[in-house]
Amino acid sequence: MKKLLLIFVMMMALGSISRAQVIENFESITMNIFSGGTNGAISVIANPDTIGNHSGYVAKMVRGFDGDPWAGWYATLPTAIDVTANKYVHIKVWKPRISPVVFKVEGGAGNSGDVYSMAPQTLINQWEELVFDLGTSPATGEYVKIVLIPDFESPLTLTEDITLFYDYMYVNNDPTVGSAPVQVMEDFEHIPLNYLLGGAEDLSSMTMIPNPDKSGVNLSENVIDFLRDKDGVPWGGFWSALPTVIDVTTNKYVHVKVWKPRVSMIKFKIEGGEAGTVEIESMYPQTLTNAWEDIVFDFSAKTGTYPIIAFLADFVDPVGLTEDIHIYFDDIILNNDPNPITPPSQKINVDMTESGMTAGSQVWIAGALGGIHGTWAEPGTNPANEMFDTDGDGIYSLTLALPEGLVAFKFFWGMGWANGDPAPGGDRTLTLTNTMDVLYKWGVDGIVVPPASPTIKWNVNMSYWISEGKFNEATDYVDVAGSFNEWNGDNHHLTPAGDGIHTITVEGFTVGQVVDYKFRINGSWADSLSEFPGGGANRTLTVVDGLQEVTVWFNDEQAGINDPVQQVYNIYPNPVTDKLFIGNMKDVTKVEIYNVTGQLVKSFNYNEVEQAQINTSDLRSGMYILTIYSGSSSSSTKLMK
């Protein structure tokens, strides 16, 4: 079955393609540390000081004493911030000493350079909100790359490592501390996890921790550790009132990644919706232990929005544990795909044929990739980042296995940073999906769209059948059925394009392929509704490269051209292309042309002339009515373009 380009475009225009909703992935923006020293590190932890900052989680930075004055981190935001509309950046910080704090944006219309907080830090070992005015910098417009240097002391005087924290980073157009955010860049929070416990003896708990097993279907940084007490209840788990409701009208399947030391039933519940509460088991039983598995729940029986969810990761009655166990879960997603997620595979390709690279040089990718690929590992230092041209076509490739999300990167040839990709956009960014295969070209911005497979655009003219009352565009449809779709045109309906023309574009053919086909009305093979009744020959087409357009009349029947009016006035040619001639103009005062809906499209007044010439080049293909006025009478005939 071929892909319908026209139907795809129509669905996009109608907004009917379902989009996955991430209920919670327990992740924050990826903070890439630089110049932090030997022990430098960044993580997300439970808030160690809730006085002055009541959030549950914050970012922690260990700043090595042997780092650089400008030690800090950068991140690529999933959604750009507009520093023209919102020029104030607010960040909460907790630091063990007073020192300058710098914020930057890069990669847009102009890098901001170092922007210091409007008011200096005044507190130590306490939370304090600092505000940065980007309106004083050259930066304008939208940016996705942000940089924070939280302890910019130069020269650096540390004799031991220090730990500092930061939280709740947002932008607005108000420099007042505590003013309302317009866009939150990161708050390091996740949905509330309200424990389903069984009394004082149940000491089960849930904590966000670094992923203890980055493998298989889950390579993300953070997960929830569910410490399941051996004295807990069968329904141990959590419920959550969501900050954003989920809608199961179009998206029917909830996915949760789970890591468990034993096989047991897993349940998910949605409640609070008008269609009623429902608690169900996973579509497929758990099969893995001590490994990540994507568990799917089918809510196709329900529609509408739901504000509350519950997750029961180990439903065994009786519980049957003799010791506590750790269960991990992550990535709660709602989509319309019932298939469990498979391990990621992201193939990145770059066309080096016009790069001017030295023969025999190696090609590398470097960037904020993470995993085995590191963060901006210098080309030539990490074997996992080398790209290969296995078939000698000049296109180098590397397959990644990274979590879904936005990454920044650049291509290089040769060792070191010298020969970087000169694409005008600078660092490339790509939103990774679980499975993808994308092509870039050295020195050219954006993803290269490969040539489309041979494509056929069929246009069928229904004007004659409309004029004869055998086809009603308001209630009937025409489809194409043939050898390319098993002679079943159910999903190959043509769309009205005006003037009786119906059209469809279908891709996925191969050059030289011979296609047999016919058009039908209302999907029927009845003699009165399909082309060439009584077993007449099929239409045949040999596919060529590129876009191939075919225009025919349904059943090869055109409007009649031999009526008396055309003979009297010697009207030719009919069908017409660019010029229409009327040979006998004696006593003719006016000529008018109407479309099939009765709208006047051309009108001409005449005196005594022997022959009239009418320009029809601007008329669209289809059927028209030509009316000739002579004296007090008029005559009409069908005209085809």
The whole-angstrom separation of Cα 565 and Cα 559 is 14
Q: Quick one: pLDDT band at residue 558, thresholds 50, 70, 90?
A: low
Are residues 255 and 302 located together in one domain of the fold? yes
Distances 93 to 98, 175, 318, 515, 576 between C-alpha atoms, Å: 11, 16, 47, 68, 77
429-443, 521-535, 549-563: which range is least confident on average?
A: 549-563
Among 137-146, 352-361, 494-503, the range scoring the smallest mean pLDDT is 494-503
Q: What is the CATH number of the domain that holds 207?
A: 2.60.120.260
Q: What is the pLDDT of residue 249?
A: 95
Is pLDDT larger for residue 149 or for residue 608?
149
What pLDDT is stored for residue 276 in this prediction?
Answer: 95
Q: For residues 454 and 463, give the distance between their C-alpha atoms in angstroms, rounded to a whole number.
A: 29
Q: What is the DSSP string of 552-612?
A: EEGGG------SHHHHHHTEE-SS-SSEEEE---TTEEEEEEEETTS-EEEEEE--S-S-E
Please give the share of the chain, as a percent, with pLDDT higher than 70.
96
> Above 60 in pLDDT, residue 80?
yes
DSSP H/E element including 8: helix 5-14
Tokens at 256, concatenated:
């949760």
Give the count of domains, the chain: 5
| C-beta of residue 303 within 8 angstroms of C-beta of residue 248 | yes
Last residue of a domain, one of 335, 370, 402: 335
- The helix (H) or strand (E) run that includes residue 229 is none
- Which residue, among 232, 249, 240, 229, has the nearest Cα to 269 in the 3D structure? 240
pLDDT given at position 332: 97
CATH assignment at residue 410: 2.60.40.10
Q: What is the mean pLDDT of residues 498-508?
A: 89
CA dihedral 282, 284, 285, 290 (to 10 degrees): -90
Question: Does position 559 have pLDDT exceeding 80, yes or no?
Answer: no
Q: What is the largest CA-CA distance in the chain?
A: 110
Closest by Cα among 246, 296, 294, 239 to 269: 239
Q: Does residue 518 form part of some domain?
A: yes
Greater confidence (587 vs 219) lies with: 219
Nearest Cα residue to 530 out of 494, 486, 478: 478
pLDDT for the residue numbered 125 = 98
Residue 340 lies in a domain: no
Measured between alpha carbons, how far is 582 from 83 in angstroms, rounded to an integer? 67
Cross-strand pairs, 450: none
In a domain, 3, yes or no: no
Average confidence score pLDDT of the chain: 90
**Same domain, residue pair 145 and 208:** no
Query: pLDDT, tens digit, for every residue of 236-266?
Result: 999 999 999 999 999 999 999 999 999 999 9
- 384, part of any domain: yes
Q: What is the pLDDT of residue 13?
A: 33
What is the rounded CA–CA span in Å between residue 134 and residue 86?
9
Q: How high is the pLDDT of residue 424?
A: 85
pLDDT for residue 186: 97
Q: Are residues 459 and 592 in the same domain?
A: no
Is residue 234 assigned to a domain? Answer: yes
Taking a C-beta distance cutoff of 8 angstroms, is the pair 341, 217 a contact? yes
What is the reported pLDDT for 563?
63
Residue type, 390: T
| Spatial distance between the Cα atoms of 435 and 387, rounded to a whole number of angstroms | 18
- Which residue range is the domain that position 38 belongs to? 27-186
606 or 384, higher pLDDT = 384
What is the reported pTM?
A: 0.63
Residue 113 has a pLDDT of 96
Phi/psi of residue 510, nearest 5 degrees: -125, 145
Specify the pLDDT at position 1. Answer: 27
Query: Best-predicted range by mean pLDDT among 29-33, 90-94, 544-548, 577-581?
Result: 90-94
User: Rounded to an integer, what distance in angstroms lies between the CA atom of residue 313 and that of residue 444?
Assistant: 48
pLDDT of 445 > 80? The answer is yes
Torsion of CA 460, 465, 467, 468, to 10 degrees: 170
State whether 385 and 354 are in the same domain. Answer: yes
Sheet containing strand 633-640, strands side by side: 600-605, 588-595, 623-630, 633-640
Mean pLDDT to the nearest integer, 91-95: 98
Name the percent of the chain in helix, strand, coil, to the closest 5.
Answer: 5, 45, 50
Q: Identify the pLDDT of residue 6.
A: 31
Cα distances (Å, whole numbers) of residue 436 to 18, 364, 367, 386, 530: 19, 19, 18, 19, 42
Where do we find the tokens 């380009």?
5
pLDDT (tens digit per residue) in 153-162: 999 999 999 9
Q: What is the mean pLDDT of residues 345-363?
A: 95
Do 295 and 216 share a structural domain?
yes
**Can you give the pLDDT at residue 18?**
53
Residue 8 has pLDDT above 80, yes or no: no
User: Please, which residues have CB within 8 angstroms of residue 21's CB and are 6 or more apart in sequence?
Assistant: 244, 246, 247, 251, 333, 334, 335
> In the listed set 335, 353, 386, which residue is the last one of a domain according to the structure?
335
Please tell me whether residues 211 and 307 are part of one structural domain.
Answer: yes
Q: Distance between CA atoms of 601 and 398, rounded to whole angstroms?
A: 59
- Secondary structure (3-state) at 19: coil
Stretch 61-82: mean pLDDT: 95
What average pLDDT score do residues 47-76 get? Answer: 96
Q: Which residue has the tokens 């999300």?
A: 405
pLDDT interval class at 463 (50, 70, 90): confident
Q: pLDDT, tens digit, for every residue of 384-443?
A: 999 999 999 999 999 999 988 889 999 999 999 999 999 887 889 999 988 999 999 999
pLDDT beyond 80 at 575:
no
Q: Are residues 203 and 271 both part of a single domain?
A: yes
Q: Are residues 381 and 331 in the same domain?
A: no
The helix (run of H) or strand (run of E) holding residue 146 is strand 142-149
Tell me: pLDDT of 130 over 60.
yes
Q: Are 522 and 498 found together in one domain? A: yes
Angle at 562 between CA 561 and CA 566, to 5 degrees: 85
Rounded distance between C-alpha atoms, residue 281 and residue 490, angstroms = 35
Co-location of 122 and 60 in the same domain? yes
Indicate if 42 and 171 belong to the same structural domain: yes
Confidence of residue 78 (pLDDT cuts 50, 70, 90): confident
In a domain, 142, yes or no: yes
Task: Flag whether 449 is in a domain.
Answer: no
pLDDT at residue 525 tops 60: yes
Asked if residue 570 has pLDDT above 60, the reply is: yes
Domain assignment present for 158: yes
Task: For residue 145, list its beta bridge partners.
Answer: 76, 106
Same domain flag for 132 and 198? no
Q: What percent of the chain has pLDDT over 90?
A: 70
Whether the per-residue pLDDT at 164 is higher than 90: the answer is yes
Q: Which of 510, 527, 556 is a domain's end point?
A: 556
The mean pLDDT of 460-479, rounded to a whole number, is 90
pLDDT score of 50 more than 50: yes
pLDDT in tens, 103-124: 999 988 889 999 999 999 999 9
6 closest CA partner among 580, 457, 529: 457
Q: Which tokens is 258 given?
A: 């789970």
